[in-house]
Amino acid sequence: MASPHRVVLLVFPGFQLLDATGPAEVFAAVGEHLPPTACTYVLQSVSPGGGLVRSSAGLELLTETLPDPASLAGCTLLVAGGYGVQQAMGQGVLARWLKEAAAHAARCGSVCTGAFLLAQAGVLDGRPVVTHWKYAALLQRLFPSLQVLEDALFVRDGRFYSSAGVTAGMDLCLSLVEEDHGRALSLQVAKGLVMYLRRPGGQRQFSAELLAQQAPAGGVLERLAQWLRGHLHEALDVEAMAARMAVSPRTLHRHCQAELGVTPARLLFQLRLEEACRLLEAGAVSLKRTAEKTGFGSEYNLRRAFVQALGVTPSEYRQRFCR
């Protein structure tokens, strides 16, 4: 009988509890759908000092000390994120250990801001990476050699994986279960955990729509977002948007930066991207028509926008998320 697959969950003081327990629950649930003699997963939580490690929620997780990196051959190594990641990076212990450990693990991944530790270890250089949407810009600024994707829930590059914020770690682990045991079993696990096997959308629900909600009620930007949603198919620029709001382009730019932290052009791009995602999820519109209805103009421009922001092509996105 084959040996169980070993999954090593790395945590540190101040880690996000669900970054570790969410993936653990996904792997543990596999055993519920296989015969008792079947090969499943064995879980191990580790930390620099071992023992009880307090999470940012105040609950503690019992861990073992960091194992010899060479002993991780064939295992899956996942790095949790959390508010304590900055202190963990400052100490440098985990980055040094991860650099060696990643060379031996069969699969190496991160949940949420755990990507910062893998990036510090140098194992993600040149790779596409995702993290929590709030920290994507910081990750790109600190590690410019990375290809930080803005909206994907998770991404794979060879044997390296990363996922977005918190619960996205469970989406990642469902995909790993599918790799190991097939779609049918991963679907059973998803149903048991009351999860989507393929969640409808990425982190995009936290981008333009959230930004629009942050704008003062009845103000220029709220009115702009409402108007843009009905005119995405038109050829628009900052001058046209400013004229519609009866303000100067400079004033519109100032409002956007002060209230939303983005440029007017960026807000328009994100609204167009989200509408394109919605159309592709519905599945009834061709790529050409999707590009026309959302203002991207051509399939080439649509593809470029998706690859840049989501890390997948429009066709791949529709295949994954079409209802």
Active-site residue set: 112
| Contact residues for 244 (Cβ-Cβ < 8 A; gap 6+) | 224, 227
Collapse the DSSP code of 286 into the 3-class scheme (helix H, G, I; strand E, B; otherwise coil) and give the result: coil
Q: Please state, in angstroms and rounded to a whole number, the distance separating the CA atoms of residues 109 and 156.
A: 9
Helices marked H in the chain: 17-30, 85-91, 93-104, 114-120, 136-142, 168-181, 183-192, 208-214, 220-229, 238-244, 249-259, 264-282, 287-293, 299-310, 314-321
Q: Strands 51-54 and 41-47: what pairing?
A: unpaired
User: Could you tell me the two tokens for 165?
Assistant: 């914020």
- Return the structure tokens found at 143: 């590690």
Nearest to 6 by CA among 81, 101, 93: 101
Measured between alpha carbons, how far apart are the two ends of the chain, in Å?
Answer: 39
